[in-house]
């Protein structure tokens, strides 16, 4: 399994309980796909650099997770299908090279 970092921006019109439910849903999807959440951080509401879907701010959430490589495409599809998510950034964490 490879390690990935996920940044998710949720719509700002959600209340705190809704955001917590969505985070729990994302974590359960990761576990269902055979992955594991290494660490997560609920950053909170931040102003966006530019408008996304006419929103000027959003709730930011980051997670470091392990996921089988064959499940990555389906996981990203599940994120895109969620209407409460404004934007995601999903990237592979590279191993540090020791010199």
Find the radius of gyration of the CA atoms of the chain: 14
For residue 29, tell me if it sits in a domain: yes
Please give the pLDDT value at position 99.
57
How many separate domains does the chain show?
Answer: 1
Residue 98 domain flag: no
Q: For residue 99, is it within any domain?
A: no
Report pLDDT digits (tens) over 44-80.
Answer: 899 999 999 999 999 999 999 999 989 999 999 999 9
C-alpha distances in angstroms, 13 versus 57, 58, 78, 81?
Answer: 10, 8, 21, 18
The label of the residue with tokens 């921006």 reads: 9
Domain extent, residue 47, equals 2-92
* CATH of residue 85: 3.30.70.60
Longest dimension (CA), the chain: 47
pTM exceeds 0.75, yes or no? yes
Tell me, yes or no, whether 43 lies in a domain. yes
User: What is the structure's pLDDT at 94?
Assistant: 79
- Answer whether residue 97 is part of any domain: no
């Amino acid at each position: 399994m490879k390690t990935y970092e996920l940044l998710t921006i949720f719509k700002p019109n959600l209340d705190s309980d809704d955001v917590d439910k969505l985070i729990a849903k994302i974590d359960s999807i990761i576990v269902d796909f055979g992955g594991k959440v290494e660490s997560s951080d609920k950053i909170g509401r931040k102003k966006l650099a530019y408008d996304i879907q006419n929103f000027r701010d959003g709730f930011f959430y980051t997670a470091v997770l392990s996921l089988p490589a064959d499940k990555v495409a389906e996981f990203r599809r599940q994120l895109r299908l969620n209407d409460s998510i404004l934007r995601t950034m999903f990237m592979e964490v590279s191993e540090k090279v020791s010199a």
